Amino acid sequence: MLYGRSTEISALDEVIARARDGSGGAVVLRGEAGAGKTALLDAAAVRGGTMRVLRTTGVEPESDLAFAALHQVLWSVTGSLDALPEPQRDAVRAALGLASGGAGDRYLLAAGVLSLLAEAAAPDGLICVVDDFQWVDRASADALLFAARRLGTEKIAMLFAVRGDAPVKGVPLTVDVRGLPGAAAAEMLESRHGVAPGVARELITLTRANPLALGEIAARLTPAQLAGREPLPDPLPGGARLFGDRVAALSASARLLALAAAVEADLDPVLRATGRLSAERTARPGDEIGARTARTALAELEESGLADLSGTRVRFRHPLIRSAVHEAVTPADVRRMRAVLAEVTEGDSRAWHLAGAAMGQDELVAAELVAAAERARDRGGYGTAATALARAAELTPEPRARAARLKDAAVAAWLGGRPGQAESLLAEARDQAGADAGLAMEIARLRGRFELNSGDAAEAVRILAAGDSLDMLADAAEAASYVGDTVAIVELGRRAAAHPEGFLRDTVAGIGLALDGDTAGPGLLRRALARVGELGEAAEYLWAAAAASQLGEADLAAEMADRAGRVARVSGMTGQLPVVLEFVATAERIAGRLAGSQAVSEEGLELAREAGYENTVAAHLANLAVLAALRGEEDACERQAREALAIAVPHRVGLRVGVAAYAPALLDLCLGRYAAAYDRFTAIAAAGPGAGHPTVVWRTGPDRVEAAVGAGDEAGAREALEAYERWSAHAATPESHALLARCRGLATSSEDAFGEALRLHTNPFEAARTALLLGERLRRAQRPGEARAHLRTAWETFERAGARPWARRAQDELRAAGESGQAPPAAVLDALTPQELRIAGLVADGLSSKQIAAQLFLSPRTVEYHLYKIYPKLGIGSRTDLARLVVLQKAPVAGNAML
């Protein structure tokens, strides 16, 4: 029976009830040792009724063993693995040791864990209980938390219990488990132990009503003390001594076994190590004698109530018992125990026991830990690998090898989503590298990449530009492009030109030479783009997007960004996905698919925050701010732009500063505030490196021309047009020519230029903008009949896209032109949410539910759930019908992936 926990139980009941109804969620129980968290978890598991329960408990001896907790929680449901998408299934199998090979990227593995939990939840729902989360190994913790953040449509309740302030990242619902209410504590003491009211009040005060302390102390008091006839002992048998006397009362062999269990959870090595040490201490050698002694010790430990046997694991009844065991021995005793355990274990356990027994540096032990780190890394346990490599470095005598291991630990920490730890390890590696130029350059390149993703982009340029290899020059050019430092890009391009011909060399050199006005630059970029068919990596497609952008071909750049996104989702190395999605989201937005862009940026933002990619967080916030501007949402636009600038300005990421500054400028333009918009666009054009970006200036050229014309500044319009013409001089795609024609039409009031633009447009959203501008001029020229067709086209397109300010403007003009008909019917797909739109698009591409789940890091059941919601919304009944609708209504992607 639980006393005084109605509030906590109600909170757990609510999470479980929502999960049972298909709206999964997670909750954290947080409290000090003995507060009753485990009892609440037990009660919640029972109250789930027919819901399935999976459970794991963090054990400190296994906190450095990759996927130890995940193995425990998932082992009973591995029979459902075949229902998972192949990449997810292979990743989970590798992590659990069911298959050879690597688990691949941690996102694939975590998505596989979510999918497997979703399968286990059918049909009645699932409660996943994670106790003592503070000791769950990092690899398992990352995967479980990934799942916990994505339970919205699953029948899953995840319940975490954690001691103290240990972080449980991304689970917002927390229930603080404190001492019992006074009346409940007194009732518990009276009913269970017969404690008199006055004594109960004193105990409650002294223990802060901690349930464990109350029960353990009351059990040790004499009847006279319980009744208040004798005073309570001073000090009480609590605090650090709570279990100390019970541990001390054990026989020597039982204390040995308790120590073994305190550093190794698996029963077999615990028994074997206890037997060996018992025989050694009693000078009675012999395996049989030792084995009998160990079994007797185990029985004694169980009878004492301090521990029990759970399967093949010795489990202490409470974590404080383990602390008491450690307090009862010397560090030398622990080292000796771990040395013996190393003799009777193998693999990762052996490596960590050797490390625990080591005194001083030891290369042999360090090598064992490196091997354990490699195994963890191959299975996707990057956080665990980082810990093992860092400990291996501590044990490494030779400075260069120590620095190399610290460098590898930094990489693992980075891939594990822990940028702070990665930067600290890399700084230590740099200090240890000494005169080894090659290693120093490797470390420098990593420092530059870390800075580019999460720190000062200008500092990344400085670090990376010190290298001479083509890869490092390319990294430096990428960093300089984020800063918007044209001088640096030009210099790096000329240095890259000295390298042998190839796609990357031609791209980096071509961008630099083109920016410098060298006529060889565009030719190199054309040659690079001619090799697109040879590309296979997401990063290569992003370079192709950069090449197309430099040529002024926004539509081709968007196509390359879209390819990069597709490759990143299925490559097995999706750690780069948050960055790739920056450009995919922009391409979707410029194509006028605002809902699709919103969904991609929301996904990218979540992944970037999980990975610690601060500058990518700024990118997605900036794109969301522009989307808010297009929808006329002033508050959201201002807030998201401000949040993006708070990261991008101090980090000198000029590209993202420029996009964030573009959002309020575009909002002013959408709302007809032309003078304010033109001032903002002028400031964007004048901003230097770190505060703006040439690509933003180019891509916003048509907006700047429109704002200048609207503000009545003819000279400003001509100046903006000339700048846009210079950038677009080498562009060859129809859409790029269409935008240039529209700008000429605006600046010169040429109807022929507007007509040329409408003939060339391949982007329906930009075509609608052109149609609106032409329709306005025709209507004001007293030619309403000619204006109406253009205005209606614009109105319908803007309505479908959700660009409400422009839709209202087109509607007002249409009414002024004499048409007051009904609003255009909404596109059928407008009824779908952003997530549903993405799933519908992938269905149209011919992907199965498993394939869609693999790309979107969902479970197949979640995909099917969304399809179940999509069909009635659209009045259809099959995937074939859905694909047909999407093909009919989906506009081709076009836009500049580099804005």
Q: Rounded to whole angstroms, how far apart are CA atoms 692 and 697? A: 8
What does each C-alpha distance from 230 to 208, 227, 469 come to in angstroms?
22, 8, 82
CA angle 556, 560, 566 (to 5 degrees): 145
Taken in order 85, 91, 96, 98, is the CA torsion positive or negative? positive
828-889 has the same fold as 6-176: no
* Domain 828-889: CATH architecture, name and number where available: Orthogonal Bundle (1.10)
Paired residues of 25 in beta bridges: 157
Range list of H helices, 532-591: 538-550, 554-570, 577-590
- pLDDT, residue 767, reads 95
102 sits in the region (left: phi over 0; alpha: psi -120 to 50; else beta) called beta
Which pLDDT belongs to residue 568?
Answer: 82
d(CA 98, CA 77): 13
For the four alpha carbons of 705, 808, 766 and 744, in that order, the dihedral sign comes to: negative
Q: d(Cα 669, Cα 663) in Å, to the nearest integer? A: 10
Write out 148-214 in H/E/C secondary structure: HCCCCCCCEEEEEEEECCCCCCCCCCEEECCCCCHHHHHHHHHHHHCCCHHHHHHHHHHHCCCHHHH
Residue 329 DSSP code: S
Q: What is the pLDDT of residue 892?
A: 38
Confidence at residue 254, expressed as pLDDT on a 0 to 100 scale: 94
Task: Report the predicted TM-score, pTM, of the whole model to 2 decimal places.
Answer: 0.84
- The number of beta carbons lying within 10 Å of the beta carbon of residue 268 is 11
Give CA–CA dist 896/623, Å, rounded. Answer: 13
Token pair, residue 550, equals: 């430099």
Choose among 536, 533, 497: nearest CA to 515: 497
Give the residue-averaged pLDDT of 377-382.
86
Cα(70)–Cα(812) distance, integer angstroms: 60
> Over 50: is that where the pLDDT of 240 sits?
no
Cis amide prior to 123 (ω within 30 degrees):
yes
Kind and range of the H or E run holding 63:
none
Q: What is d(CA 661, CA 671) in angstroms, rounded to the nearest whole number? A: 16
Helix (H, G, I), strand (E, B) or coil at 74: helix
Residue 86, helix vs strand vs coil: helix
- Amino acid 103: pLDDT: 54
Confidence (pLDDT) at 827: 63
Task: Classify domain 6-176 at the CATH class level.
Answer: alpha beta
pLDDT, one tens digit per residue, over 118-127 is 999 999 999 9
Which H, E and C letters describe 513-536, residue by residue? HHHCCCCHHHHHHHHHHCCHHHCC
Residue 533: how many CB atoms within 10 A of its CB? 6
Q: Strand 25-31 and strand 52-57: pairing?
A: unpaired
Distance between alpha carbon 169 and the CA centroid of its chain, in Å?
A: 10
By the 8 A CB rule, do 483 and 653 touch? yes
CA-based max dimension of the chain = 112
Torsion angle, CA of 283/286/287/289, rounded to 10 degrees? -70
Mean pLDDT of 220-224: 91
**Percent of the chain surpassing pLDDT 70:** 95
Residues of the chain with pLDDT > 90, as a percent, come to 65
CB-neighbour burial class of residue 295 (10 A; exposed 0-12, middle 13-18, buried 19+): middle
CA dist 335 and 321 (Å) reads 19
In this predicted structure, the answer to whether residue 457 has a pLDDT above a threshold of 60 is yes
Q: What is the amino acid identity at position 105?
A: D
**Residue 891 scores a pLDDT above 50:** no
Q: How many residues does the chain have?
A: 899
The backbone torsions φ and ψ at residue 705, rounded to the nearest 5 degrees and listed phi first, read: -60, -45
Single-letter residue type at 817: A
Q: Are 687 and 661 in contact (CB under 8 A)?
A: yes
Distance CA 875, CA 897 (A): 35
Checking if the pLDDT of 241 tops 80, the result is no
Cβ atoms 444, 467 nearer than 8 A = yes
Q: Among 614, 625, 541, which residue's Cα sits nearest to residue 583?
A: 541
Note whether 461 and 472 are within 8 A (CB): no
The better pLDDT of the pair 421, 495 is held by 495
Provide the residue ranges of all domains of the chain, joining segments of one domain with +.
Answer: 6-176, 182-242, 246-447, 828-889
- Mean pLDDT score of the chain: 90
Per-residue pLDDT of 807-834, as tens digits, reads 999 999 999 998 875 666 666 677 788 7
> 159 with 26: CB under 8 angstroms?
yes
Q: pLDDT by residue (tens digit) across 837-875?
A: 889 888 988 899 988 888 888 889 899 999 999 999 888
Whole-number pLDDT of residue 611: 83
User: For residue 100, is pLDDT > 80?
Assistant: no
Which pLDDT belongs to residue 899? 43
CB 776 within 8 A of CB 767: no
Alpha-carbon distance of 141 to 70, in angstroms, equals 8
Chain-centroid distance of CA 518 in Å reads: 42
Say what the pLDDT of residue 121 is. 95
Going by pLDDT thresholds of 50, 70 and 90, the confidence category of residue 575 is: low
Tokens read off for 235: 């000090």
In terms of pLDDT, which residue wins out, 418 or 660? 660
Compute CA distances 81 → 54, 75, 93, 130, whole Å: 16, 11, 8, 21
φ/ψ of residue 156, rounded to 5: -130, 130
- Could you tell me how far CA 404 lies from the centroid of its own chain? 27
Q: Which amino acid is at 384?
A: T
Residue with more model confidence, 239 or 688 = 688
Q: What is the pLDDT of residue 574?
A: 54
Question: What number of other Cβ atoms are within 10 A of residue 173's Cβ?
Answer: 12
Give 57's DSSP letter. Answer: E
Give strand pairing partners of 126: 52, 156
CA 366 to centroid of chain Cα atoms: 31
307: β partners: 316
Distance (Å) of CA 531 to CA 375, 471, 518, 583: 37, 18, 22, 21
What is the mean predicted confidence (pLDDT) over 490-506? 96
Within 10 Å of residue 672's Cβ, how many Cβ atoms? 13
Q: How confident is the model at residue 751 (pLDDT cuts 50, 70, 90)?
A: very high
Residue 710 and residue 723: Cα distance in Å, rounded? 18
For the residues 178-190, what does the mean pLDDT come to? 93
| Dihedral (CA of 448, 451, 454, 457) sign | negative
Q: Which residue has the tokens 């032109």?
A: 817
For 321-366, write each residue's pLDDT tens digit.
888 898 889 999 999 999 999 999 999 999 999 999 999 999 999 9
Say which amino acid occupies 351: A
| Per-residue confidence (pLDDT) for residue 238, from 0 to 100 | 55
Contact 348, 66 (CB under 8 A): yes
Q: Which of 657, 638, 647 is nearest to 695 (CA)?
A: 657
Dihedral sign computed on CA atoms, order 450, 453, 459, 464: positive
User: Model confidence over 410-431: pLDDT tens digits?
Assistant: 999 988 888 888 999 999 999 9
In sequence order, what are the residues at sequence separation of 6 or more whose Cβ sits closer than 8 angstroms to the Cβ of residue 9?
2, 40, 43, 44, 47
pLDDT score of 569? 76
